[in-house]
Amino acid sequence: MKVSEDVLRVLDAAEIAGSQVRLVGTLDRKLYERVNKVLEAAGGKWSRKERAHVFDEAPGDVIDRTILTGEVVAPQDFGFFETPEMLADEAIAEAALEPHHIVLEPSAGTGRIARPASRIAQVDCVEFQPKNARKLFEGKFARKITVGDFLSIPPAREYDRVLMNPPFGRQDDIRHVLHALKFVKPGGLLVGIMSAGVRFRSNRMSVEFRDRVVSCGGRFKDIPDGAFKESGTMVSTTLVIIPC
């Protein structure tokens, strides 16, 4: 079930407490009906007594998944999805790699971005999951591979480019991109694949991130719907390009 952006904005602003979702503000009837339809499809039932939609379980995850994908979807892990080849090529093209560049791919997975990037420049990788890291070691295309949580790695401004497809769940993509910016040399560039929600969500983290992108002279670039279908998810994405 596809969900329009105006409905996603309403869901993003909703108050979630326990098993209840309470809509904020006054909605016109047609918009409310569409929001109600989405909440019911996600498992919520309107309670006149509570003046909220009540779910059998805590609804935070299902609301987050809906905002991430633009659909009411079944539960799944939004922590790791391989970067489709087309998107990897597009990110590399936006980065304008040159042979003298040193590149970082945090949350490298099995190297869908790092491998083709290594044909142009030197690439370092960080990967949290040991089974993915083993494939990076076996590939022998990275200059250096660090196994661990990228967010726990102390930053050092030693990279000309950062290319990344971070985890999206619970706005981890914003946290990862902000941390990754601390690794980019002055005059360098970060190119990242992010959840499309970062462009319209109204919470403080999203608003401040958009302001940060603008203040750096960065921009967002549309990615077609369904770009990650081959990787097993319909999550809606955008490309962010941030000069440093």
From CA 38, how far away is CA 175, in angstroms rounded?
A: 28
Query: Beta 159-164 vs 184-195: how paired, if at all?
Result: parallel
Per the structure block, which two tokens stand in for 220?
């967002």
Name the DSSP letter for residue 83: P
Reported pTM = 0.72
Residue 191: name the closest of 103, 70, 99 by CA.
Answer: 103
Please, which pLDDT band fits residue 31 given cuts at 50, 70 and 90?
Answer: very high
List, edge to edge, every strand of the sheet that includes 184-195. 144-147, 122-127, 102-105, 159-164, 184-195, 237-243, 219-222
Q: What is the pLDDT of residues 126-143, one digit of tens each?
A: 998 888 899 999 999 999
What pLDDT sits at residue 170?
78
Cα 110 to Cα 128: distance, rounded to the nearest angstrom: 11
Beta carbons within 10 angstroms of residue 145's beta carbon: 20
Asked if residue 150 has pLDDT above 60, the reply is yes
Whether pLDDT at 12 is above 60: yes
Which of residues 236 and 134 earns the better pLDDT score?
A: 134
List b or e across 215-227, with b for residues whose CB sees 16 or more CB atoms inside 10 angstroms.
eeebebeebebeb
Higher pLDDT, 76 or 240: 240
Q: Give the model's pLDDT for residue 128.
A: 87
Model confidence at 78: pLDDT above 50:
no
Q: Is the pLDDT confidence value at 75 over 80? A: no
Domain boundaries, the chain: 5-69, 85-243
Give the residue-averaged pLDDT of 60-67: 84
The fraction of the chain above a pLDDT of 70, given in percent, is 92
SS3 for 74? coil
Instruction: State the pLDDT confidence band at 234, using cuts at 50, 70 and 90.
Output: low
Instruction: Compute the distance between CA of residue 172 and CA of residue 164 in angstroms, rounded to an integer.
Output: 13
Q: What average pLDDT does the structure give for the chain?
A: 89
CATH class of 85-243: alpha beta
Helical packing angle, 5-13 and 60-69, nearest 10°:
150
Question: Which of 55-59, 120-124, 173-177, 209-213 shows the lowest mean pLDDT across its residues?
Answer: 55-59
For residues 160, 166, 168, 173, the Cα torsion angle rounded to the nearest 10 degrees is -30
Flag whether pLDDT at 144 surpasses 80: yes
- Whether 49 has a pLDDT exceeding 60, the answer reads yes
| pLDDT at residue 220 in the model | 97
Computed over its alpha carbons, how large is the radius of gyration of the chain? 19
Give the model confidence (pLDDT) of 190-213 as tens digits. 999 998 889 989 889 999 999 999
